[in-house]
Amino acid sequence: MNVLVINCGSSSLKFQLINAETEDVLAKGICERIGIDGRLTYQPTGGEKEKSDKAMPTHTEAIQYVIDALTNAETGVVKSLDEIGAVGHRVVHGGERFASSVVITEDVKKAIEECNELAPLHNPANLIGIEACEKLMPGTPMVAVFDTAFHQTMPEKAYMYGLPYEYYEKYKVRRYGFHGTSHSYVSKKAAEVIERPYDQLKTIVCHLGNGSSVTAVMNGKSVDTSMGLTPLEGLVMGTRSGDIDPAIMEFIAGKENLDIEGVMNVLNKKSGVFGLSGELSSDFRDLTDAMNNGDKKAKIAMDVFSYRVAKYIGSYAAAMNGVDDIVFTAGIGENDDYVREQVCSYLDYLGVDFDKEVNKGLRGTQKELTKPGSKVRVFVIPTNEELAIARETLALVK
């Protein structure tokens, strides 16, 4: 069965058409600048990448262009919509309601809408994508795969904040965690690589991308994760601060004459390695170049980032009373050898025998980074959220 995987943002929409049985990607692309003007990038596997400007006042036009491209007589990969058996939608927040993926019904859409206030930038856009697909592909089953679902196994002691209990009762203020599809996919893959049962392993996954999070996966279940009620908590990220002393908010508001919205804007968009580097860049490729050219702030940004990752690994080794394997994934985790070396330089005490030579220059490929006999094994495992969504969708629709 071919599954169309949709990751819908407020002004963009990424898609992949995957044969969910063979796991081959048939075509992929992105619609950008939806609601502004509109641009479609489309690439059939083995074919040329095409870019075209198309008017996309809403997501419905964007999805129509995706369907047109996929079914195009010359460059398409299917003859008609009948060859698309299901659509898998990435949905960011499923709150406490969804501990696994679900087939989308009116009831499910209502529940996703109820989570809007927990992810105001993401969930409304995810819903718009679902409704646009429903309109253009009536009768095709749709599945929602939630970023939060994998973390619903966390125990209370990990998800409760030290805040008045009534905030949890009244408003569901708690840790939810994100990137669950990636943490789940990568931790399972690690168990396959190590050839040990998934339900008997203590794994720490470091998903280091534009947004970054670390998860402790014990016996196949997420038991703690660094992102919280929102994706702002935890690691230092591209432009997000991660953990800070909450009192800094009032202090900076006073000094800079900012209201709460202004402070949140700083924490979400002007902080992280972007802020630390003096607004040089949030991209680790730029930071690496600058650091290699002697830029002190770029080096500070990369070192603060790596140190925070190492601290989370230490705390999750404690949370699980041990660790068998540590996995780096996502844009930075898969590609940045400096960050990986820095992080692992703090992990000797755990029994990580890191192989600097293997790590050097390694980009985007699955590889073990520890020497034979290392007590704790470290890997790079590329994530594949689209494939994970296609698998979930196939399993539910079958």
- Residue numbers annotated as active site: 147
Stretch of residues binding ligand AMP (CB under 6 A), selected from 44-52, 60-68, 253-261, 277-285? 277-285
- What's the CA gap between 295 and 318, in Å, rounded? 35
Q: Which residue is nearest to ligand AMP (CB)?
A: 331
Binding residue for ligand AMP, selected from 44, 94, 228, 238, defined by CB under 6 A: 238
- What's the CA gap between 122 and 119, in Å, rounded? 5
**At a CB cut-off of 8 Å and minimum separation 6, what does 261 contact?**
none
Q: Please give the C-alpha separations between residue 337 and each of 23, 364, 380, in angstroms, as whole numbers.
A: 29, 11, 10
Total residues found in the chain within this entry = 398
User: What's the closest the beta carbon of residue 299 comes to ligand AMP, in angstroms?
Assistant: 15
- What's the CA gap between 105 and 108, in Å, rounded? 5
Q: Which CB atom, from 146 or from 284, has the smaller least distance to ligand AMP?
A: 284
Residues 154, 223 contacting (CB under 8 angstroms):
yes
> Binding of ligand AMP at residue 336 (CB under 6 A)?
yes
> Binding of ligand AMP at residue 301 (CB under 6 A)?
no
Stretch of residues binding ligand AMP (CB under 6 A), selected from 97-105, 154-162, 248-256, 281-289? 281-289
Radius of gyration of the chain (CA): 21
User: What's the closest the beta carbon of residue 290 comes to ligand AMP, in angstroms?
Assistant: 12
Q: Which CB atom, from 227 or from 376, has the smaller least distance to ligand AMP?
A: 227
Q: Could you tell me how many residues of this chain bind ligand AMP (CB under 6 A)? A: 12
> Binding of ligand AMP at residue 272 (CB under 6 A)?
no
Element (H, E) at 37: none
> Binding of ligand AMP at residue 224 (CB under 6 A)?
no
> Binding of ligand AMP at residue 360 (CB under 6 A)?
no
Element (H, E) at 126: helix 123-136
Identify the CA nearest to 235 among candidates 262, 205, 280, 191: 205
> Which residues lie near ligand AMP (CB under 6 A)?
209-210, 238, 283-285, 330-332, 335-336, 363
